[in-house]
């Protein structure tokens, strides 16, 4: 196992900012001769109050007498709110490098018939997975808001969950046609058929890796349950037509949801990106008011699949399933 702590850099010290003092004050002892009398300098407070009452009355009664600038205040605030969330989501997308994390660039080398150095190849892949996840963490916008020890603990406990979430989302977003979820007649393929397709893909890849045939019975016995759980996560994400914006938010939410870490900053981060997820869903899926909650209740299924992956120690399986994606 690779020591994730060695990949982290200590955060830079916080920068300081200065406050410009007020050095001069206006002379209030004299007023120009043309200045109005003191009482005339201030508007009648009742005028502003009555104006506000009229605006409130118009708003409550549905009157069209509300000035245009007041009509647009709510809309302007909502637009700025949406823009802020869109910016936060864009930052997550920029630092994710989806293709690099969800696939293996040297998959052809791994599938070569030379099995003498297979163990060494798998170890290098393991190191590469951890390194990529660590690099992703250090690019996150909130990286410097948490101590290095917290990041290390999160990644140590969550790397397999993040791996399943990332590779499954990639398959759902980019591998729709290749998975065969829709037949030529438009009918949807059942989950067990998708599982069978993935097992055949895995059988082909493992046979190439090992340099000897792997029977389907043996494969089902060894990893059948794990493949079924991973396939179910992929099918769920595809059914939702998961978007990249939702995937990056879910990834952060899943990572910081660590119950045994009593860190208030984690709660702030969790709520921030949960708000981003809700804002995106409300704008792009207005007819699915429960979309975010329906996605969140599926995260335990990601955890189940990840636990089986960790137990099997066959961490390369999700990458082999993604190897058929062009």
pLDDT digits (tens, 9 = 90+) for 130-183: 899 999 999 999 999 999 999 999 999 999 999 999 999 999 999 854 444 454
DSSP-derived 3-state class of residue 122: helix
Question: Distance from CA of residue 291 to its chain's centroid?
Answer: 15
Alpha carbon distance 207, 214 (integer Å): 6
Residues 249/89, Cβ–Cβ less than 8 Å: yes
Alpha carbon distance 30, 297 (integer Å): 70
CA angle 266, 268, 274 (to 5 degrees): 100
Question: 195: pLDDT confidence band, cut at 50, 70 and 90?
Answer: very high
CATH superfamily of 80-324: Retinoid X Receptor (1.10.565.10)
| Helix spans in 97-182 (H) | 98-102, 107-110, 118-139, 148-174
Angle between helices 216-239 and 299-312 (to 10 degrees): 160
- The whole-number average pLDDT for the span 205-227 is 90
Q: What are phi and psi of 188, to 5 degrees?
A: -80, 140
Q: What percentage of the chain reaches a pLDDT higher than 70?
A: 68
- Kindly report which listed range (132-141, 181-190, 264-273, 284-293) carries the lowest average pLDDT score: 181-190
Question: 243: pLDDT confidence band, cut at 50, 70 and 90?
Answer: very high
Q: What are phi and psi of 72, to 5 degrees?
A: -90, -5
Residue 227 confidence (pLDDT):
96
Given 3-state DSSP classes, what are the helix, strand and coil percentages for the chain, each rounded to the nearest 5?
Answer: 65, 0, 30
Residue 59 clears pLDDT 90, i.e. is over it: no
Residue 56 confidence (pLDDT):
53
pLDDT greater at residue 145 or residue 68: 145
Residue 283 confidence (pLDDT):
93
pLDDT greater at residue 20 or residue 317: 317
Residue 172 confidence (pLDDT):
94
- Kindly report which listed range (63-72, 79-88, 212-221) carries the lowest average pLDDT score: 63-72
DSSP 261: -
Q: How far is CA 260 from CA 134, 216, 266, 296, 303, in A?
A: 21, 41, 11, 20, 16
Residue 116 confidence (pLDDT):
62
pLDDT greater at residue 17 or residue 272: 272
Please state the domain extents for the chain. 42-71, 80-324
- Residue 162, judged by CB atoms within 10 A of its CB (0-12, 13-18, 19+), counts as buried
Residue 186 confidence (pLDDT):
44
pLDDT greater at residue 118 or residue 215: 215
């Amino acid at each position: 196992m690779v020591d994730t702590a060695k990949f982290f850099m200590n955060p830079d010290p916080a920068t300081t900012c200065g406050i410009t003092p007020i050095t001069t004050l206006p002379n209030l002892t004299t007023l120009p001769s043309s200045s109005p009398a003191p009482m005339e300098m201030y508007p009648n407070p009742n005028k502003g109050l009555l104006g506000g009452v009229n605006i409130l009355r118009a708003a409550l009664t549905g009157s069209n007498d509300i000035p245009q600038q007041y009509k647009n205040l709510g809309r302007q605030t909502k637009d700025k709110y949406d823009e802020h969330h869109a910016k936060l989501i864009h930052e997550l997308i920029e630092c994710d490098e989806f293709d690099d994390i969800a696939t293996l660039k040297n998959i052809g080398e791994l599938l070569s018939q030379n099995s003498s150095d297979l163990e060494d190849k798998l170890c290098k892949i393991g190191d590469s997975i951890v390194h990529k996840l660590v690099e992703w963490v250090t690019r996150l916008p909130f990286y410097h808001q948490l101590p290095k020890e917290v990041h290390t603990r999160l990644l140590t406990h969550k790397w397999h969950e993040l791996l399943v979430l990332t590779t499954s989302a990639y398959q759902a977003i980019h591998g729709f046609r290749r998975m065969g979820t829709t037949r030529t007649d438009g009918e949807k393929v059942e989950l067990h058929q998708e599982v069978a397709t993935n097992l055949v893909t895995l059988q082909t890849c493992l046979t190439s890796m090992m340099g000897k045939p792997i029977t389907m019975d043996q494969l089902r016995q060894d990893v059948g349950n794990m493949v079924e759980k991973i396939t179910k996560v992929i099918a769920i994400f595809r059914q939702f037509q998961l978007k990249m914006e939702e995937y990056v938010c879910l990834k952060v939410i899943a990572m910081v949801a660590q119950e045994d870490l009593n860190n208030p900053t984690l709660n702030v981060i969790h709520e921030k990106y949960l708000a981003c997820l809700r804002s995106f869903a409300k704008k792009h899926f207005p007819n699915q008011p429960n979309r975010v909650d329906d996605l969140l209740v599926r995260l335990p299924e990601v955890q189940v699949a990840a636990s089986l992956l960790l137990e099997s120690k066959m961490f390369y399986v999700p990458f082999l399933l993604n190897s058929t994606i062009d």
